[in-house]
Amino acid sequence: MAPFVNSIEINRSADEVFAYTVEPATFPEWQRDVLDVRVEGRSVGSGRGRAGPAERHRACRAARC
């Protein structure tokens, strides 16, 4: 089976696009099945070894909505 490949051009820097896509509040804007996201807790520590808050995603699958 051939892979499915799709691409788009975004008139923003790579840093801006990355920041947008990793921000939980924007997930419903670009992930079709995500209805909402709730972040619980807070970050602990700093740098690469830090523990972040938990994210709760509420999603809707096409066959179940």
Q: How far apart are CA 61 and CA 30, in angstroms?
A: 15
Q: Name the average pLDDT for the chain.
A: 77
Rounded Cα gap, residues 36 and 64, in angstroms: 16
Residue 16, pLDDT > 70, answer yes
State the Cα–Cα distance between residues 31 and 22, nearest whole angstrom: 12
Which residues 6+ apart lie within 8 Å of 42 measured at CB?
53
pTM of the model: 0.56
Q: Which of 17, 40, 41 is nearest to 29 (CA)?
A: 17
